[in-house]
Chain A
Amino acid sequence: MSTALAHLRADLHSDAAALDETHRLIEELWDKVPLVPDRDRVLFSLAVAEIAANVIEHARGEGWLWELDLSAWSDRLEACIRHPGPTVEQGLGTWAMPEELADSGRGLALANAASSLRYFHKTDPEGNEWLVVRMLTS
């Protein structure tokens, strides 16, 4: 049975400073669960930061807040990112790597390769949710 070890959350603006805050919150999580292996830290951080960057990019000019929820369990790491707005078209794609010399379009594919990624959309009120799960390797 998995046990909850730590939980952190923040409401963030859709601007560049939110990326700093995302990394700061992830570091705070590592302070609370110091035994998480390095490789899991790297892969989880990468997936969360990619989704955060995607949300910030998607929200440019919209001015809404988004929510970052991080939790550590005895067997996994989880991040839930929620933001308002219509369906994110990228979320409905295949999340495949683009051709090798493409200079964009890797974010979701990279997040999904680094951790397990799921995307949800709901109406009334309209909103989106990204769930990142990294099962711990040891």
Chain B
Amino acid sequence: MTSFATETIGTKLVVRPLGRLDLVSAPQLRDIITSSVANGVVGVVVDLHGVDFMDSSGLGAMINGLKATRQAGGNLRIARPAQQALVVLDLTMMQQILHPYASVEEALAAP
């Protein structure tokens, strides 16, 4: 069972999934980001450090969040992906769109 922790840092939201980011848990991530944008917090960092497996549904939830935050004038960054998530980003050629930052701090500081 995947759990999610959120932390508001300044004007941004950090989301920390723990477990698998897949068909089952991706809707939760989508809901968290949608709710954040609806509440005016449009800068989101997804900290992938605790994600041991990500599939196309997990990636899709982040792309959905990227679009939602951009439409509201913000952005979504990802930080600390494990090797498995990097493989998914690589195979789907998404590293340009979802650049993986080495730390949450770097992702928060990115323009």
Contacts and interface: CB of A to CB of B under 8 A. Distances in A.
A79 interface: no
Interface residues of B, number: 24
B98 to A, nearest CB: 10
B109 interface: no
A39 B60 CA distance: 23
Contacts, number: 69
B22 A110 contact: no
Q: Chain B at the A interface: mostly helix, strand, loop or mixed?
A: helix
A57 B27 CA distance: 13
Query: Which of A16, A43, A106, A114 has the most chain B CB atoms inside 10 A of its CB?
Result: A106
Contacts of A97: 92-93
Nearest to B83: A42
B102 interface: no
Interface string A94-105: 000100111110
Interface of A: 16, 19, 23, 38-39, 42-43, 45-46, 49-50, 53, 56-57, 97, 100-104, 106-107, 109-110, 113-114
